[in-house]
Chains A and B, each alone.
Chain A
């Protein structure tokens, strides 16, 4: 077994063509992750461009609504481009520049990571190609146009089912053919080593800020941490600094979709997923008894991924995080609830974490403290939600 493992999960299950560039990336990351100049530049862009640290907001209205533990929201939705994805995109773009790469590529489902990558590519003067499934291009026209405005080229992927998993496969294939000048900015804590580790490191500012900010709010008291899990980048960023703290109970909330039937949800860890290999890593994956990857489904385009980051698989087996799910309907309810009670329209992804409050809050006590990571804002989802609620908007 190779390095880059979390327990037995992770590894580098990629064709030989990709191995040299993974080794190059690993060497570069190991060199720069502790480099003072790199760290300072990353921190500066996070603060002065992206808008970190993000607020830890006491949601009094939501707290009163449940009448139990105090609820805080970690406001990643306030970041530039509207979601936590920018943290990782900045980190990887800075690394790509230091590696002398002129082009970046990315995969995207809902378009959020594509927009984040297109944004940093514009900022740092890199050529950018974003791979997106033809079905997602149809569903997310607004983000496709945003990427074009930012100067990126969106490449339609019609192979397979034309969604995120196929876009990811195609990005890896393209990368294998253009390793000389191209860096692949993976959008979640998935893929072959060193990606899961690197993306987690770039996202771990979420949890480290929570740890710092909660001190002045509650004197450091924190009982529950909630985050939604698709590939799992905002969740790993949220949980990582608390991984050894057993007093903080951690919940990763997956998309329960329409039902428990195969193909109608994205419950990789909380449902029928089994360990296997997808996109270069050994991790839980939704698959058939023959080992074919199953298409995941969720109302939230950022959660419908049939795999999950390998560190989450390890956290599941080790009992460090509880992986649970909520349905499309529960997420839709939470989406509207937060909008009305707090005046914050959350992303449908984040709405999954919020929806789990319905199950969690009755079990909490008044003196306890809950933090929910609000990974992104919901502007991108209003059309989808309107459709789901049966409202016509043009």
Chain B
């Protein structure tokens, strides 16, 4: 069982919603990213999605693109992120999930990636440009290494694909709130709520809603329809703007909103 699975089990038993915070590794720099992880955990985050920067991130909006480019320019690579994960593990047992793109992983070697990062203390990976149909090999490697491979559902995912995805899902299922890319906006979460309801009929694997959540109000609304919520751009924006001190109070406000 991974730390991620254990955390979701504990949350369920405590009847609490999960809060997953995205932080781009190496943006604005490695030190700040580490401080942000500490701040997030202290403020009530249950897991960290660690961004692995890619030059052409198809699923990401402007804020995470900007953070990725900054991180790459800072010289961040999977090798340096491996060290980052090891360092985080010296002070924290918070579940860590890598969020990156397949080209970097392929270049590193899929099996090496899973083995090295598992050993360093990462609990799973989210690779948005590997849809279910392309994921057989990678899923197998992840399974053999007790490493979560997170799959997606969206408002457009068809009935038969929801079923198919639920048969292999583990860790949690990432429910994308809207057809589009990451980034804060006002949304009606009832739309994805219909999808998460379908998912919950198929599997006991927890569901987390992400994309667009940028305020306590949005967090509260989204959390109604899932086991957890994921907040990225709103945190990354503050870090890029040099407002590390705002991160903890902001995450605390999200925590309070979903604990209501």
Contact = CB atoms under 8 A, between A and B. Distances in A.
Interface string A1-29: 11000000001111111011101000000
B107 A289 contact: yes
Contacts of B176: 15-17
B107 A287 contact: yes
24 contacts: A2-B133, A15-B128, A15-B152, A16-B132, A16-B151, A16-B154, A16-B157, A17-B156, A19-B157, A20-B161, A160-B55, A166-B56, A173-B61, A173-B181, A176-B58, A177-B180, A179-B156, A278-B56, A287-B107, A289-B107, A290-B77, A290-B79, A291-B108, A293-B103
Contact of A277 (B65, B102, B178): B102
Contact of A13 (B61, B102, B178, B181): B102
Most A CB within 10 A of own CB, among B54, B56, B103, B178: B56
Interface in B52-86: 54-59, 61-62, 65, 69, 72, 77-79
B181 A176 contact: yes
A155 to B, nearest CB: 14
Report, as a range, how many residues of chain B touch the other chain: 35 or more
Contacts of B105: 291
B108 A12 contact: no
A14 B103 contact: no
B107 A276 contact: yes
B129 A20 contact: no
B164 to A, nearest CB: 11
Contacts of A1: 134, 136-137
A23 B156 CA distance: 11
B107 to A, nearest CB: 3
Given A176-B58, A292-B55, 14 more contacts: A11-B134, A13-B134, A15-B129, A17-B179, A19-B156, A20-B156, A169-B58, A173-B180, A176-B179, A178-B179, A289-B107, A291-B103, A291-B108, A293-B103
Contacts of B151: 16
A275 B181 CA distance: 26
Contact of A290 (B69, B107, B134): B107
B249 interface: no
Contact of B72 (A14, A178, A292): A292
Contacts of B104: 290-292
B174 to A, nearest CB: 8
A6 to B, nearest CB: 15
A30 interface: no
Contacts of A101: none
Nearest to A159: B65
Contacts of A2: 133-134
B205 to A, nearest CB: 16
Most A CB within 10 A of own CB, among B54, B58, B136, B181: B58
B156 A278 contact: no
A104 B237 CA distance: 32
Interface string B115-143: 00000000000001111111011000000
Most B CB within 10 A of own CB, among A14, A165, A293: A14
Interface in A135-180: 159-160, 165-166, 169, 172-173, 176-179
A369 interface: no
Contacts of A21: 156
Contacts of B65: 159-160
B180 A17 contact: yes
B58 A290 contact: no
Nearest to A3: B133
B108 A172 contact: no
A106 interface: no
A173 B55 contact: no
Interface string B85-116: 00000000000000001111111100000000
Interface string B168-186: 0000000010111100000
B117 to A, nearest CB: 15
Nearest to B62: A159
Contacts of A11: 134
Interface in B163-205: 176, 178-181
Contacts of B219: none
Contact of A160 (B56, B59, B78, B158): B56
A280 interface: yes
B134 A15 contact: no
B58 A172 contact: yes
Contact of B69 (A17, A160, A172, A280): A160
A147 B254 CA distance: 46
Contacts of B180: 17, 173, 176-177
Contact of B129 (A13, A179, A285, A290): A13
A284 B242 CA distance: 38
B55 A293 contact: yes
A277 B161 contact: no
Nearest to B178: A177
B257 to A, nearest CB: 26
B152 A16 contact: yes
A25 to B, nearest CB: 13
Interface in A353-383: none
B131 A285 contact: no
Nearest to A169: B56
A292 B54 contact: yes
Nearest to B137: A1
A80 interface: no
